[in-house]
Amino acid sequence: MDYYHSVNGVLADLEPVEPVFCHRPFAARRAAKWFLDHFQGDVLYAVKSNPSPVILDALYEAGIRHFDVASPAELERVAAFKDARFYNMNPVKHPRHIAISYFDYGVRDFSVDCMAELDKVLQATGYAKDLNIFVRLAVNNASSMLPLDRKYGVPLLDSAELLMAARLNSEKLGVCFHVGSQCMDPEAYRQAITLANQAIVRAGVLVDTLDVGGGFPSAYPGVQPLDMSQYTNVIHEAFADSLASENSRLICEPGRALSAETGSLITQVTLRKDNYLYLTEGAYGALFDAAHLKFRYPVKMIRPGDNGEQARLTGFSFYGPTCDSIDYMPGPFMLPEDIGIGDYVEVGMLGAYGQSLRTSFNGFHQGPEVIVGDEPMLSMYRNEVAEEAAAEAAGQYFANDDVVPLQAQLGE
């Protein structure tokens, strides 16, 4: 994969017609280092958020040794990491996938949220005696931008039977939960850990692992998360006050928080109608969340031959390249008011799920991938994490700019 010092270098060299996905492995290493330095437990990377080999390799190089996988295809992506541990934390799994995970890849950690799923895991693994079963609890997702509490989780009042059954049929027992994606209140983790403690007491079981799941936020325009250390501090305090802390290890599953800053996309304007821009990327591509979840990503215009001066910013909505009218991203996305056909737009913070959700609908959303060394448009990780300083020739990529404090980036 080709390396460029900046996105401007990509445009100057390629003059692309198709969208270009830009990877920043240095941002993955920086985020991983922050979590490894600040979280008092094991850090699992949720592979689903960005399974790109260049990002997986960067996280592994930074020290991540635990990976949450949901399928054999994701397992295959990380199988080369021989000293890593793989977890299947998807609460509903195909029996054949369970067997492949256990017998072919050595997965021993599985989550369940009902008796039927526990029975399925036991049967698919031949009633193995070395299983680590995590019981997923239903917890409040009110503090998250993207609630995830409708599909999975056993309610507290129904959890005792499942916890006792899992304890009897596993070598080690874990409790897990998910407070929802983009959690904006660290206290949500305290409330969830308190509920987990209540479930443990009601069931009268010993727990070996407490998994606080994902939900750690990233920065987007109009979204101002608290400093990440406030999240880890609350988790550590609540864990120390819980029964689980006496004999349990602590783990978390950041996906978005480790990968969001690693990616951006260069897309070109093919038409402008008033304040609607038609782009070469859209809802069936990396801008899925901008369409279906109304995410407002940071954007900037890049005009070939531009002298650096740009017109006043104004709000635009986007249409993608497909024939489908729902290929629409409402925004608003703030761009120079004179933007037009032929100009390029870089959309930032697409490292989480941007590339994962791309399709080939209508034959679009296919284009080159590159590695770039310039900073993400926004960052949760400040100067306390030192920049990596390896040379490009040695295969390491870095950025020279300092990390701008979050409030300054958001214009506060």
Q: Contacts from 226-234 at CB under 8 Å and sequence distance 24+?
A: 226/184, 226/186, 227/380, 227/406, 228/34, 228/38, 228/257, 228/380, 228/381, 229/38, 230/186, 231/183, 231/186, 231/189, 232/38, 232/39, 232/40, 233/186, 234/186, 234/187, 234/189, 234/190
* AA letter at 372: V
For strands 209-211 and 172-176, give the pairing: parallel
Burial class (CB in 10 A: 0-12, 13-18, 19+), 148: middle
So what's the pLDDT on residue 243? 79
Going 379 to 383 to 384 to 387, the CA torsion angle's sign is positive
All residues at 6 or more sequence positions from 224 whose CB lies less than 8 Å from its CB, including other chains: 406, 407, 410, 412
Containing 345, the helix (H) or strand (E) segment is: strand 344-347
Chain centroid, CA 128 distance in Å: 32
So what's the pLDDT on residue 386? 40
Decide: helix, strand or coil at residue 332. Answer: strand
Cβ pair 238, 189 in contact under 8 A: yes
Q: Which domains occur in the chain, in start order?
A: 3-22+261-378+389-406 (2.40.37.10), 26-259 (3.20.20.10)
So what's the pLDDT on residue 307? 67
Cβ pair 1, 369 in contact under 8 A: yes
So what's the pLDDT on residue 383? 53
Look up residue 305 and give its DSSP letter: T
So what's the pLDDT on residue 393? 30
Going 219 to 221 to 226 to 231, the CA torsion angle's sign is negative
Decide: helix, strand or coil at residue 20. Answer: strand
So what's the pLDDT on residue 382? 60
Low-confidence ranges of the chain (pLDDT < 70): 307-308, 382-412
Q: What is the pLDDT of residues 119-154, one digit of tens each?
A: 999 999 999 999 999 999 999 888 888 777 788 899
